[in-house]
Chain A
Amino acid sequence: MTRSQHDAEPARGAAAPEPPGPDSPAPKAPVEKIPVPKRPVLRPAVPIYDSAARPHPLVEELQELVRYRDLVLQWSRRNIQLRYKRSVLGVLWTLLEPLMLMTILALVFSNAFGDLIPDFPIYLLSGLILFDFFSRSTLQIVEEIIASQSLAERIHVPRSAFATAAIVTYLVNWLIAHLPLLGLVLFFDRPLSWAIVTILPGMVLTAMFALGIGLVVATIGAFFVDIRLTYQVLLTGWFYATPIIYSLSIVPESRHRIFALNPLLHLCELVRSPIYDGVVAAPVHWWVSLAIGFTTLAVGWAVFTHWRNAFDYRS
Chain B
Amino acid sequence: MTTAADATPAVVELSGISVRFVVPTERIVSFKEYVLRRLRNQISHRELWALRGVDLDIRAGETVGLVGRNGAGKSTLLKVISRVLRPTEGRVVVRGRTAPLLELGAGFHFDLTGRENVFLNATLFGYPKSLIAEQLPAMVEFSELSEFIDMPVRNYSNGMLARLGFAVATQFRPDILILDEILAVGDAGFQQKCLARVEDFRRAGTSILLVSHDLETIASYCDRVAWLEHGKLVAVGTPEAVLEPFHEAVMSPRDAV
Contact = CB atoms under 8 A, between A and B. Distances in A.
Interface of B is mostly: mixed
Given A17-B8, A314-B21, A224 B205 contact: no
Contacts of A97: none
Interface in B50-81: 50, 60-61, 79-80
A153 B119 CA distance: 21
A281 to B, nearest CB: 36
B212 interface: no
B189 A152 contact: no
Interface string A214-234: 000000100111110010000
A43 B11 CA distance: 15
A39 B124 contact: no
A39 B172 contact: yes
B96 A19 contact: yes
Contact of B103 (A23, A154, A223, A314): A154
Contacts of B138: 37-39
B81 to A, nearest CB: 9
Interface in A260-295: none
Interface string A1-31: 1010000000001111111010111101001
Interface in B22-45: 22-24, 28-32, 34
Nearest to A230: B31
A224 B29 CA distance: 5
B91 A47 contact: no
A54 B31 contact: no
Interface in B97-136: 97, 100, 102-103, 106-107, 109, 111-112, 116, 119-120, 123-129, 131, 135
Contact of B124 (A86, A157, A313): A157
A151 B104 CA distance: 11
Given A19-B96, A226-B31, A313-B22, A31 B84 contact: no
Contacts of A70: 123, 127-129
B200 interface: yes
B82 to A, nearest CB: 6
A51 B135 CA distance: 31
Given A37-B141, A312-B85, A85 B111 contact: yes
Interface stretch (A73-81, A169-177, A181-189, A203-211): A73-81
Contacts of B193: 28, 31-32
B102 A155 contact: yes
A165 to B, nearest CB: 10
A43 B60 CA distance: 16
Given A1-B131, A42-B131, A74-B119, A154 B84 contact: yes
Nearest to A3: B131
A155 B203 contact: no
A47 B97 contact: yes
Contacts of A15: 203-205
A306 interface: no
Contacts of A85: 111-112
A28 to B, nearest CB: 4
A31 to B, nearest CB: 5
B86 A54 contact: yes
Given A25-B200, A156-B82, A19 B60 contact: yes
A148 to B, nearest CB: 8
11 contacts: A19-B11, A31-B189, A32-B196, A46-B95, A48-B95, A51-B80, A153-B84, A154-B106, A226-B31, A313-B21, A315-B22
Interface of A: 1, 3, 13-19, 21, 23-26, 28, 31-32, 34, 37-43, 46-52, 54, 67-68, 70-71, 73-75, 78, 81-82, 85-86, 151-157, 220, 223-227, 230, 309, 312-315
